[in-house]
Amino acid sequence: MTNSFADFAKAKMLLVIGSNMTEAHPVAATFLKNAVLKGGELILVDPRRTDLAGFASIHAPIKVGSDIAFINGLMHVLIKEDLYDKKYVDSCCTGFETIKAKVMEYPPERAAEICGLDVDMIYQVARRLAAVKPAMLMYTLGITEHTCGVNNVLSCANLQMMLGNVGFECGGVNPLRGQNNVQGACDMGALPNVYPGYQKVGDPQAQAKFEKLWGAKLSDKPGLVMPHMMDGLVTGKIKAFYIFGENLANSEPDIKHVEHCLESAEFLVCQDIFPTETTRFADVIFPAAAWSENDGTFTNSERRVSRVRTVSTPPGEAKPNWWIFKELARRIGGQSWTSNSAQEIWDNEVSVEAPQLCGVKYARLEGDGLQWPVPSLDHPGTCTLHKDGCFTCGQGRFTPVDWTPPAEVPDAEYPFTLSTGRRLYHYHTRTQTGRCQGLNDLLGEETADISPADADSLGIEHGEMIRLRSRRGEVALKAKVTDQVPPGMVWMAFHFREACANWLTNPVFDPVSWTAEYKACAVRIEKL
Amino acid sequence: MAKSTLMMNGREVGFEPGQTILDVARAHGVDIPSLCYLKDCTPTGACRVCLVEIKGARSLMAACAMPAAPGMEILTESEKVVKARKLNIELLLASGRHDCVTCEANGDCTLQDLAYRYKISELRFERPEKWYPTEDLNPMIIRDFSRCVLCGRCIQACNEVQVNRAISFGYRGAAAKIITSGDKPYHESDCVFCGQCVEVCPVGALKEKKAKGLGRPWEVEKVRTTCPYCGVGCQLWLHVKDGKIIKVTAVEDGAPNQGRLCVKGRFGYDFIYSEDRLKTPLIKENGEFRPASWDEALDLVADKFKGIIAEHGPDAIAGLSCARSINEDSYNMQKLFRAVIGTNNIDHCART
Ligand code: SF4
Ligand code: SF4
Ligand code: FES
């Protein structure tokens, strides 16, 4: 996020797109609701009438995957009615003429048609957003989990720049990270194209720096992203696959395909705290220490590095993950890494190598942690990025984007759109929450959430078992009839193995980020 | 602008406009007790424990609700104040079944602390004979109405802090009761089990069911950590006894969560004690897993990787790191892939 959670409760105007925050980021949502109680205004853009709709002045129920058309339509109105922040755009941004030309192709009438909205709503939202400054935009996976995910993100940034909202407290573009340490794993360079601290693979200087630090020759070729690794297992390009923690066999789209890939692996290593659907395919399983069984740090969505502390020892022979990697480094490459604890890894390596984290040392993390960038030891951390419109990379650049529909849209054979996400009481594939006393009692099974109108026309009762079928697979589960869901949509999560949405989802990806289109595929509802 | 001042116990102290007397006192280290007051919420003045004497005022005033004004002369522990507080505490004690030895809150109870501070040694008032029955129907929260002092903090936590709007006051007079959604049990109400009501309940009326009987507050060590679930990164206190987490509460006033948690952060800690945990390295042989030593398993993987590197090159190996685990684990994994194996084929599910 460019901004901080502390801003949420203070914001005067909040635009939430594709984020069911009360279930996926519940505590963040409480601050947002506080802002509304204090007189702030919330505009919610989401196909579903989620709980936040009850707090919103406007809920725009756009069609799944129409975000770009919607935002282009808003920008069209902002320009047409001269409501955008001219001063900010002139002094802090480039590319206004090109974005203007693009959004002129999206008059509100066209946008409204693509989004399935009343055209007035587009005018209304644009005018309200222009009326209150700054406005804070937050989004979650409703923006990114599309084949046009990167363009969706660019759209959000375009809108916030045009409104002059980037670089201020209670403004900015704020993606809420799904998992506790996605931010951190990216920061650490667990990505095929960057070293720790986002230093680019392929940049000779960065490569030389890390070759020196690590005392090894490094490859200048960016690596494969996850979907290509999986394909590589089938083609034989990848001979050995090492999975740390992830439960791919449930969490990735199209389970049948994923399992076929895992089955094809010549040699599969899994490292986990539990046996999972994925570890079944392993040749070797390493037992790992879990949360609270070793010291370390997590980095949250607002770039805050916080401590994780030990309270007990891992069961049996389970070992800290970092130790396992260190042992392999010795056994594979004869390297003896000197750091022998998470603190030593952080203090002596991470914070020395990643410029944003130079000033972060364990000794400084006792209380509330620090928000990067923290360029020096006396730097207090950074709550708001791009302060006062001064983008860290020079000027903010508008990037015109066009709307593209999801890869698979409803047709006569599969007439419904399936969209997926998380529910409050469980987390991901339930490896953790499913083993916590009580949580299964609060939510014990998956449902297919459908609208009362569709339930009616299909003759389906609330709680009735139905079958969902997509081009990839089928699941049988109970129908949950709820007015949260608009007609034409089915909504599911991926917490339960038997009725996991990923038997149905479409393994198509954004061509830049390689994020899968979990938010849209076509399904059919069958009565049982 | 010069700060406004007032006199507190004969000492001149400054304050900001908008501060209550309680705020001013706490800012200057003056300890006015409170019970129903909940930070950042509209004061209700329900418990009358924070009464103070203000010169010129006809009656004692609730410090938590009374805005500070320039020139006020305030006594926070005068004889009159102490007498009134004592009476109110005695009434609270008599309102329910406050037999501390059998109460889960023993040692962590505001009412108990108040009775001790004001040296209350016997109960002068009759206590009622009947209470609403204890509600123990959901997996997380036990509601013992016999210990509820009707302070209303749970209502504020639910409506003003978490804004879930599940808890409210129901019935009147002697029948007064804290209710969830039209007096349904918790699990049939709008409750989402964030447990904020339990967190703020000053007595033993709301308690974590999973922690029941597992440890007294003085036997417990509190360890600060970060929640293992979503990207908010809430700060938790792990209450640890004999090396085991017995319950979780929120770190007050800490960033980012300011004393709040959700159901997963508060109640989702015990998976680590599951019998299903992997406890030893496993090697698959003829389709079955068998236990192995670390040396055997690590050497097997190392040999296999070395063989593949020699035959097909380092890019024939790929790895996925974990977005749930600590930074240092991801760091070491990417370093293993880059500096030892020699490939950039390292990724994680950055995208979910
Ligand atoms: S349940 Fe606890 S917090 Fe709620 S009114 Fe009763 S004593 Fe106060
Ligand atoms: S307590 Fe809830 S909101 Fe906070 S980090 Fe954990 S899962 Fe997220
Ligand atoms: S704390 Fe002031 S009236 Fe209860």
B351 at A interface, C-beta within 8 A: yes
What is the structure's pLDDT at A391? 65
Distance (angstroms) between ligand 3 centre and the Cα of B30 equals 16
Amino acid identity, residue A399? T
CA distance B263 to B251: 15
B60 lines ligand 3 (CB under 6 A): no
Q: Tokens representing A169?
A: 């407290």
Interface test with chain B among A291, A313, A382, by most B beta carbons within 10 Å: A291
What is the structure's pLDDT at A177? 86
Nearest ligand to the C-alpha atom of residue B34? 3
What is the structure's pLDDT at A101? 97
Question: Is domain A416-527 in CATH 2.40.40.20, yes or no?
Answer: yes
CA distance A345 to A337: 10
Nearest ligand to the C-alpha atom of residue B159? 1
B222 at A interface, C-beta within 8 A: no
Q: What are phi and psi of A364, to 5 degrees?
A: -90, 0
A128: left (phi over 0), alpha (psi -120 to 50) or beta: alpha
- Which CATH number is A182-379 given? 3.40.50.740
- Which atom of ligand 1 is nearest the CA belonging to B150? 5
Residue A71: CB atoms within 10 A of its CB come to 34
pLDDT band (50, 70, 90) for residue B352 = low
Distance (angstroms) between ligand 1 centre and the Cα of A233 equals 58
What is the structure's pLDDT at B128? 81
CB A368 within 8 A of CB B255: yes
Q: Which residue of B has its CA nearest to A432?
A: B271
SS3 B251: coil
A342 at B interface, C-beta within 8 A: yes
- Which CATH number is B214-277 given? 2.20.25.90
CA distance B206 to B199: 8
User: pLDDT tens across B169-208, in order?
Assistant: 999 888 899 999 889 999 999 999 999 999 999 999 999 9
Which residues does chain B have within 8 Å of residue A33's beta carbon, measured at their own beta carbons? Answer: 162-163
B69 at A interface, C-beta within 8 A: no
pTM above 0.90, yes or no: yes
DSSP state of B252: T
Q: Which residue of B has its CA nearest to A344?
A: B328
Same fold, A5-176 and A416-527: no
B233 lines ligand 2 (CB under 6 A): yes
What is the structure's pLDDT at B74? 98
CA distance A413 to A286: 45
Give whole-number Cα distances, A32 to A25, A27, A44, A151, B192, in Å. 11, 9, 12, 26, 17
* Extents of the domains making up chain B: 4-90, 132-212, 214-277, 282-351
* Whether the predicted pLDDT of A62 surpasses 70: yes
User: pLDDT tens across B232-275, in order?
Assistant: 999 999 999 999 999 999 999 999 999 999 999 999 999 999 99
User: pLDDT tens across A424-445, in order?
Assistant: 999 888 989 989 999 999 999 9
What is the structure's pLDDT at A303? 94
Nearest ligand to the C-alpha atom of residue B96? 1
Amino acid identity, residue A138? M
Q: Tokens representing A120?
A: 């007035």
Q: Whose CA is nearest to atom 3 of ligand 3?
A: B45
Pairing mode of beta strands B177-180, B141-143? unpaired
The dihedral built from the CA positions of residue B39, B42, B45 and B46, taken in this order, carries a sign that is negative
What is the structure's pLDDT at B249? 97
SS3 B99: coil
| CA-based nearest residue to A521, from A361, A389, A411, A367 | A411
Report the share of chain A in percent with pLDDT over 70: 99
User: pLDDT tens across B63-121, in order?
Assistant: 999 999 999 999 999 999 999 999 999 999 999 999 999 999 999 999 999 999 999 98
Cα distance from B248 to chain A (closest Cα, Å)? 12
User: pLDDT tens across A63-72, in order?
Assistant: 999 999 999 9
B36 lines ligand 3 (CB under 6 A): yes
Output the average pLDDT for chain B.
Answer: 95
What is the structure's pLDDT at A392? 61
What is the structure's pLDDT at B23? 97
* Whether the predicted pLDDT of A393 surpasses 90: no
Which residues does chain A have within 8 Å of residue B209's beta carbon, measured at their own beta carbons? Answer: 438
The per-residue DSSP string of A121-186 comes to HHHHHHHHHHHSSSEEEEE-HHHHSSTTHHHHHHHHHHHHHHTT-TTSTT-SEEEPPSBTTHHHHH
Cα distance from A104 to chain B (closest Cα, Å)? 32
What is the structure's pLDDT at B246? 96
CA distance A45 to A80: 22
For ligand 3, mutation pick of B36, B41, B114 (most atoms within 8 Å of CB) = B36
Question: Is domain B4-90 in CATH 3.10.20.740, yes or no?
Answer: yes
- Which CATH number is A5-176 given? 3.40.228.10
What is the structure's pLDDT at B351? 58
CB B23 within 8 A of CB B2: no
CA distance B303 to A333: 11
* Whether the predicted pLDDT of B1 surpasses 80: no
DSSP state of B161: I
CB B345 within 8 A of CB A224: yes
* Extents of the domains making up chain A: 5-176, 182-379, 416-527
Mean predicted confidence (pLDDT) in B146-162: 96
CA distance A10 to A202: 42
* Whether the predicted pLDDT of A390 surpasses 90: no
Residue A364: CB atoms within 10 A of its CB come to 18
When mean pLDDT is compared across A381-395, B101-115, B311-325, the lowest value belongs to A381-395
Cα distance from A298 to chain B (closest Cα, Å)? 5
CATH of B132-212 among 3.30.70.20, 3.30.565.10, 3.40.640.10, 3.40.1190.20:
3.30.70.20
CA distance B15 to B18: 9
Output the average pLDDT for chain A.
Answer: 95
Q: Up-side HSE of residue A350: CA atoms within 13 Å toward CB?
A: 33
CB A250 within 8 A of CB A503: no
What is the structure's pLDDT at A385? 83
Residue-level length of chain A: 528
CA distance A260 to A111: 41
- Which atom of ligand 3 is nearest the CA belonging to B36? 4
**Closest partner residue to A328 among B209, B265, B302, by Cβ?**
B302
Cα distance from B13 to chain A (closest Cα, Å)? 29
| CA-based nearest residue to A14, from A64, A65, A38 | A38
| CA-based nearest residue to A293, from B217, B221, B325, B322 | B325
Amino acid identity, residue A36? V
The dihedral built from the CA positions of residue A219, A225, A228 and A229, taken in this order, carries a sign that is positive
Helix (H) or strand (E) holding B5: strand B4-8
